[in-house]
Amino acid sequence: QKEVEQDPGPLSVPEGAIVSLNCTYSNSAFQYFMWYRQYSRKGPELLMYTYSSGNKEDGRFTAQVDKSSKYISLFIRDSQPSDSATYLCAMSVGNTGKLIFGQGTTLQVKP
Amino acid sequence: GAVVSQHPSWVICKSGTSVKIECRSLDFQATTMFWYRQFPKQSLMLMATSNEGSKATYEQGVEKDKFLINHASLTLSTLTVTSAHPEDSSFYICSAPDRVLGTEAFFGQGTRLTVV
């Protein structure tokens, strides 16, 4: 079993839709949770960062962490074609700098 | 945000040759950098942790003699793929930790290596 599970998709939605991306994990020691966006053949770009459980909002993006269920989510409101990319969840146990990534979900937002 | 520059962005080499990839932190010092490999439609897999002034720490299953890492200064880490083979063809990405978060918030652009 992988430490971090993420549905690779692809996920296709119409412009303006609300997108929900999810990851589950098995290591209860994970404390830091991140979402990255990666465009084709580019390095990942940090979108959201959350420590421990709870919600965090930044513009059209909301990150949720439920440590009791070992489940994290990223919501994108009013999705745009420019949001089309691969979204990777990542986690770490402490401030060690060592991240464990999910497989990534490919999202396509159609105009 | 901080910038991490990786070079080259793509390279094609013949089997048996060596390829060097550079990772630079442009506006901050990075005592630690990380090297990942990503196969098509797969996640980033950590290969090794590069430590300035000391030996790199390799993840289980990564050949130290094949993937040579040097972190000679606070702004530069290099990954050399020695005696490359077609199965080494992949997307290699470096990252450097954000000084506040302490995690790898900044990634290089990645290097697409194709071994023919």
The string of DSSP codes covering chain A is --SEEE----EEEETT--EEEEEEES-TT--EEEEEEE-TTS--EEEEEEESSEEEEETTEEEEEETTTTEEEEEESS--GGG-EEEEEEEESSTT---EE---EEEEEE-
pLDDT tens track for A58-70: 999 999 999 999 9
**pLDDT (0 to 100) of residue B28:** 83
pLDDT value at A47 more than 70: yes
Name residue B95's beta-bridge partners.
Answer: B34, B107
If you search the block for the tokens 């901050």, which residue do you land on?
Answer: B28
Task: Give how far Cα B63 sits from Cα of A37, A44, B40, B47, B60, Å.
Answer: 29, 25, 21, 9, 8
Closest CA to B68 of B79, B59, B83, B84: B79
Closest CA to B95 of B28, B14, B35, B13: B35
Region B45-52 average pLDDT? 92
Region B53-71 average pLDDT? 93
Residues of chain B with Cβ-Cβ distance to A8 below 8 Å are: 41
User: What length does chain A have?
Assistant: 111
pLDDT value at A4 more than 90: yes
Instruction: Tell me whether A14 touches chain B (CB under 8 Å).
Output: no
Instruction: Give burial (CB, 10 Å; 0-12/13-18/19+) of B20.
Output: middle
Residues of chain B with Cβ-Cβ distance to A99 below 8 Å are: 34, 44, 46, 103-104
**pLDDT (0 to 100) of residue A2:** 79
**pLDDT (0 to 100) of residue A98:** 77
Nearest to A97 among B32, B41, B110 (CB): B32
Region B55-72 average pLDDT? 94
Please, what is the average pLDDT of chain B? 91
At B103, the pLDDT band (50, 70, 90 cuts) reads: low
Mutate to test the interface with B, among A45, A99, A100 (most CBs of B within 10 A): A99
Angstrom distance (rounded) from CA B87 to CA A41: 18
Closest CA to A60 of A109, A3, A102, A1: A109
3-state secondary structure of A49: strand
**pLDDT (0 to 100) of residue B91:** 95
Region B44-49 average pLDDT? 93
A61, A78 in Cβ contact below 8 A? no
pLDDT tens track for A13-31: 999 999 999 999 999 999 8
**pLDDT (0 to 100) of residue B100:** 66
At B104, the pLDDT band (50, 70, 90 cuts) reads: low
**Closest residue of chain A to B108, computed from CA coordinates:** A43
Region A87-95 average pLDDT? 87
How many helices (H) and strands (E) chain B has is answered by: 0, 11
**Closest residue of chain B to A41, computed from CA coordinates:** B110
Residue B97: is the preceding peptide bond cis (ω within 30°)?
A: no
pLDDT value at B106 more than 70: yes
A16, A76 in Cβ contact below 8 A? no
Q: How many CB atoms are closer than 10 A to CB A15?
A: 13
Q: Which of A62-71, B21-30, B61-70, B99-108 has the lowest mean pLDDT?
A: B99-108
Region A39-47 average pLDDT? 89
